[in-house]
A and B are shown apart, each in its own frame.
Chain A
Amino acid sequence: MNVPTGLIQQEGSAFGFGELEEAIVLQGLNIRNDEAKAPLFGTGRPAATLEMFPSWPMRFKQTPRGSSKSGGGSTDSGSAVNTISSKTENQLEPESPISTKNTAPLDHQQEMMASDVSRTGQEKRRGSTSEKQLDAKTLRRLAQNREAARKSRLRKKAYVQQLESSRIKLSQIEQDLQRSRSQGFFLGGCAGALGNISSGAAIFDMAYSRWLEDDQRHMSELRTGLNAHLSDSDLRIIVDTYISHYDEIFRLKVVAAKADAFHLITGMWTTPAERCFLWMGGFRPSELIKMLISQLDPLTEQQVMGIYSLQHSSQQAEEALTQGLEQLQQSLTDTIAGGPIIDGMQQMAVAIGKLANLEGFVRQADNLRQQTLHQLSRILTVRQAARCFLMIGEYYGRLRALSSLWTSRPRESMMSDEHSCQTTTDLQMVQPSQNHFSEF
């Protein structure tokens, strides 16, 4: 049985039964016409579907494209139907007693194949001799099958294309989310949908993410500077640049504190792990020094004293600010809690006035942080300072990475896949955190 090559070459893997059925039916009719013998399939006109699995073995025959007479040499026998979908130019040739006896049908078929370039036009011509033998019903059915197969192919193609573009989009979104998560905030659009981020906060978050990128750059400069064994004066330039880089974030935080002190003090601009250690809108200076002390060896005696003195002063300042903030809390509680509400609006106005002091505390805390970093660089040598700042950067980098890992950890309770897990978890984290300000 020969399947018209045009069919195979055009569609490749998208071979549908529509064509096969048609080809088989037409082929059967051709042979019948040429043979004028007893029907091949014994029962007279065969049911179209049964012809898909012919009773005799099929043979492969190589036919160059467009050649009309390729002779008889068949190569090897092969299985029938499932090889039709290959993209090669193999044809199926039945090794039937009938076809070996008759070369005429072979030639006739090859002529058909050679001339069969386009399906639509040629099909009608090919089947012209046998068309009269087919009744209208069969013709209609064949045409419908063709159409259905074509539509099915188009649908499949469209679906696959859609899947591909969705896949690309998904990976882009994942990248964005990963970047955002590692920097610990939600970009304006996403958070805007949740309706819980002010413009001042959004502006700061964007500036902070840029600052983090700069931080990476500065840190690699420090690293290369240390490894390159630069002179002290050269290294000093790099260290001073890094200190200025920190001064910049403190400047940005001053503006942010004025716009939205809650955003800073609740730590919504940082990652969850950093938030865990948050003190008054940022890191606790004495904790940072404690972390550094063991890694800063070797230190001179004077340096050791200087560092411990710094840690002590920082603790005293932190304590003073904390007590000031506690008094603010108490005052606020007194304003809004208990007792008869004589004038609700007045009470609220007073409370708002007191809340405004929050900005001052965040500013003083940032000031403390800035002063601590400056003092560190004064106590340490240039090389020690370079290593120290590198340590600080790496420490917070690891804390941020920890947050990323934490948020993307798999949850057994979730039925859906991991990606939707992450989104849900992030939403969960945002909601409870908004209540943090009530604990300040």
Chain B
Amino acid sequence: MHYQVDSWGYYMPARSMGSDPMERVAKLASESAVVIFSLSSCCMCHAVKRLFCGLGVNPTVYELDQDPRGKDMETALMRLLGNSQAVPVVFIGGKLIGAMDRVMASHINGTLVPLLKEAGALWL
């Protein structure tokens, strides 16, 4: 698991700081095989992280409470999921998988592991 801290806005003022948070989410999601948006205080986020680690996956985690634009991204994710809870939310291979319930359903019905393999997050 590795944590990404966004410092681009600092070095590249030309890049719009007010870019659409949803765009930002999509962009970040596409940059790694497995991306988890999380809050450091959230226990369910901890659970989903443990799940992927248990599978042998190394997900990229963005703690939105530690991101200057985290609040906006949270709102955007809430809208995306149609849910009052923005996190945890998982992207695999740039595609939205969903919140914890979708991730677990996917694991139980056996579709999660093939997705992970397809995205290159798992070998074997």
Provide the bound-state CA to CA distance between A309 and B110, in Å: 8
Residue B46 contacts which of A313, A323, A375 (CB distance < 8 angstroms)? A323
B109 and chain A: residue at smallest CB distance: A375
Interface size on B, as a range, is 20 to 34
Pairs of residues from A and B, 7 with the lowest C-beta to C-beta distance, nearest first: A324-B47, A320-B51, A371-B108, A328-B43, A320-B50, A323-B50, A327-B46
Nearest B residue to A371 by beta-carbon distance? B108
- Per the bound structure, the CA–CA distance linking A361 and B42 in Å amounts to 12
Binary CB contact string for chain A from 353 to 383 against chain B (1 if under 8 A, 0 otherwise): 0000100110110011001101100100000
A357 (CB) vs chain B CBs: closest residue: B43
List the B residue with the shortest CB-CB distance to A365. B104
| Complex-state Cα separation, A282 to B83, whole angstroms | 25
B44 within 8 A of A: yes
Q: Pick the contact of A372 from B48, B50, B54, B108 — CB < 8 Å?
A: B108
Binding site for B on A (CB under 8 A): 306, 309-310, 313-314, 316-317, 319-321, 323-325, 327-328, 331, 357, 360-361, 363-364, 367-368, 371-372, 374-375, 378
B46–A324 touching, CB < 8 Å = yes
A selection of 19 A-B contacts at a CB cut-off of 8 Å is: A306-B110, A309-B110, A313-B107, A317-B51, A319-B51, A320-B50, A321-B47, A324-B47, A325-B47, A327-B46, A361-B43, A361-B47, A364-B104, A367-B101, A367-B104, A371-B104, A371-B105, A371-B109, A372-B108
Q: Does B41 contact A (CB under 8 A)?
A: yes
Establish whether residues A323 and B104, one from each chain, have CB atoms under 8 Å apart when the complex forms: no
The reply to whether B104 and A368 form a contact with Cβ atoms under 8 Å apart is: yes
Q: How far is the CA of A320 from the CA of B59 in the complex (A)?
A: 15
Contact for A313 among B42, B44, B100, B108, CB less than 8 A: B108
Name the distance in Å between A62's Cβ and chain B's nearest Cβ.
88
Contact of B105 with A361 in the complex, beta carbons under 8 Å: no
Complex contacts, A324 vs chain B, CB 8 Å: 43-44, 46-48, 50
Contacts of A317 in B (CB 8 A): 51, 104, 107-108
Which residues of chain A are near B43, meaning CB under 8 Å? 324-325, 327-328, 331, 357, 361
A317 vs B42: C-alpha distance when bound (angstroms): 17
In the complex, chain A residues whose CB is within 8 Å of the CB of B51: 316-317, 319-320
Q: Identify which of B41, B43, B110 gathers the most chain A CB atoms within 10 Å of its CB.
A: B43
B55 contacts partner chain A, Cβ-Cβ < 8 Å: yes
Question: How far is B42's CA from A258's CA once the two chains are assembled, in angstroms?
Answer: 18
Complex CA–CA separation, A17 to B83 (angstroms): 86
Decide: B101 and A319 in contact? CB cutoff 8 A. no
A319 near B105: Cβ-Cβ < 8 Å: no
